[in-house]
Structure 1
Amino acid sequence: MSIHIITTTWKGKMQFESTNPSGETLLINAGEENQGEGAGLRPKALMLSALAGCSGLDVASLIEKMKLEVDDFKIETTASLTQEHPKVYDQVTLEFHFYGSNLNEERLNRAVDLSVEKYCGVMEMFRQFAKVAVKTSFHKI
């Protein structure tokens, strides 16, 4: 079993600094509508970044292993929050956008499917509380 330790330190007002097992840090802050100063990342949005990042790392690795030609790709994540407190994401959509002149759509879909169904642990965590949809789009350049 692997254990991750994250240290999150209050920096005053509504700002925190959080470490990562890699030693990197990031700032977390509330939005101005919640007495924050807007500097830093929002906690719930970080969850969406973690989801896209987890799946993106899987797909990037699979692109390399499958020797696929992809010039670029990005993941757009859209989520809706419930109205009642505690407000949680109840629906999330990840849309993978692949760019290139020689895209193998079948194999890229397979890479996304492997991440979504087998490898991405953050995806599995999200499935515990939200309906997750995945779309892929291919852009020939």
Structure 2
Amino acid sequence: MGTTNHISTKWLGNMAFESNNPSGHTVKIDIAEEDGGNGSGYRPKALMLSSLAGCSGLDIASLIKKMKLEVDDFHIETIANLTDEHPKYYDNVVIEYHFHGKDLSEKKLQRAVDLSVETYCGVMEMFRRFAALEIKTIFHHK
């Protein structure tokens, strides 16, 4: 039997909610004013993309440390297509890993990306159940 995560999400009135996290931090969720909310929090579907990038990013940051790689800057762009029909979900997701630096070890960084995508990232595995994923690694040499 695996680990159980238990999250409590409390209605704050109108269309806003506050959700706790095992970290002790909370996240506020809301929708846009044009949709009846106050725009005072994160959008639920977009948070899923942050979770995906964050999960994979943590793997890669850990591997950058372990492999003692020189990386000046690293960011992840997550571009997802939402279906037209309700319930709307992400059917295609492009995940771009951008590495910046003078002396980038492309082979090792690509290995770090591959390990995260194929082995370590649980959120990636969840996404794989409902979306086609396209992975791109982009090196920016200074």
Where do 1:30-45 residues align within 5 Å?
30-45=31-46
TM-superposition CA deviations, 1:42-76 (whole Å, max 9, x none): 00000000000000000000011111110110000
CA root-mean-square deviation: 0.7
Where do 1:79-98 residues align within 5 Å?
79-98=80-99
SS of 2:86's partner is coil
CA displacement at 1:80 relative to structure 2: 0.4
**Aligned mates of 1:109, 1:57 — CA distance in 2:** 15
SS of 2:41's partner is coil
Task: Tell me the residue number matched to 2:79.
Answer: 78
**Aligned mates of 1:31, 1:92 — CA distance in 2:** 23
Where do 1:46-85 residues align within 5 Å?
46-85=47-86
**Aligned mates of 1:106, 1:136 — CA distance in 2:** 11
**Aligned mates of 2:127, 2:136 — CA distance in 1:** 16
**Aligned mates of 2:74, 2:93 — CA distance in 1:** 19
**Aligned mates of 1:99, 1:36 — CA distance in 2:** 38
TM-score w.r.t. structure 1 length?
A: 0.98
Task: Tell me the residue number matched to 1:114.
Answer: 115
**Aligned mates of 1:30, 1:99 — CA distance in 2:** 34
**Aligned mates of 1:4, 1:72 — CA distance in 2:** 32
Structure 1, unmatched stretches of 5+, are none
CA displacement at 1:4 relative to structure 2: 1.1
Q: Is residue 98 of structure 2 the alignment partner of residue 103 of structure 1? A: no
Would you identify which runs of 4 or more consecutive aligned residues in structure 1 move more than 2 Å?
A: none
TM-score w.r.t. structure 2 length?
A: 0.97
CA displacement at 1:78 relative to structure 2: 0.2
SS of 2:136's partner is strand
CA displacement at 1:15 relative to structure 2: 0.4
Identity %: 65
CA displacement at 1:2 relative to structure 2: 1.2
**Aligned mates of 1:71, 1:113 — CA distance in 2:** 20
Task: Tell me the residue number matched to 1:127.
Answer: 128
Letter of the 2:91 counterpart: D
**Aligned mates of 1:99, 1:8 — CA distance in 2:** 38
